[in-house]
């Protein structure tokens, strides 16, 4: 056992059971406590306290797939526009033909408006991930990670 481990010891893993799965406290510094869960190949993340994820953010995550379904036409347009701007083929009628949902993250909920991120994987290029930054039901920005 090395000196630092003996001096500071290791903390036991913090977990919290939910309907979505088991959330683990993955980051805790000052007032920022990030919880994460991987369930059915979908990654969830939200903020909370040192003992549990934020209940309002968990409730939003439970309904996030319904939120995404209501945004289907807007998502399809956004993906087509972004791909055309990048001079890449955009031959699909719905975003689900080309992309799969892989991650949902709630940054915060302020005055009932969620600020959240959605990550999609490109089925044609599995190393490319498209991140949508959302404010409520509005797509505020998009980034592509490869």
- In the numeric block, which tokens belong to residue 8? 């500071």
Number of Cβ atoms within 10 Å of the Cβ of 32: 9
Instruction: List per-residue pLDDT tens for the chain, 146 residues long.
Output: 455 555 665 667 899 999 999 999 999 999 899 999 999 889 999 999 999 999 999 999 999 989 899 999 999 999 999 889 989 889 999 999 999 999 999 999 999 999 999 999 999 887 889 999 999 999 999 898 87
Domain ranges across the chain: 3-145
81's enclosing H/E stretch is helix 72-85
Question: What order do you get walking across the sheet with 15-17 strand by strand?
Answer: 15-17, 22-29, 32-39, 42-47, 99-110, 113-122, 125-135, 138-145
- Residue 88 pLDDT: 86
Number of Cβ atoms within 10 Å of the Cβ of 109: 18
Round the CA-based radius of gyration of the chain to a whole number and report it. 18
**Which pTM value belongs to this model?**
0.86
């Amino acid at each position: 056992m090395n000196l630092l481990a003996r001096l500071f010891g290791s903390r036991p893993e913090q977990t919290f059971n939910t309907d979505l799965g088991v959330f683990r406290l993955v980051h805790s510094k000052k007032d920022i406590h990030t919880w994460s869960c991987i369930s059915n190949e979908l990654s969830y993340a939200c903020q909370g306290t040192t003992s549990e994820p934020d209940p309002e953010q968990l409730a939003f995550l439970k309904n996030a797939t319904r939120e995404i379904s209501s945004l289907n036409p807007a998502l399809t347009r956004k993906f087509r526009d972004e791909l055309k701007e990048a001079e890449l083929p955009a031959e699909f009628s719905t975003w689900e033909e080309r992309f799969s949902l892989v991650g949902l993250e709630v940054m915060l909920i302020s005055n009932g408006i969620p600020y959240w991120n959605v990550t999609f994987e490109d089925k044609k290029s599995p190393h490319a991930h498209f991140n949508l930054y959302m404010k409520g039901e509005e797509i505020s920005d998009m980034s592509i990670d490869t």
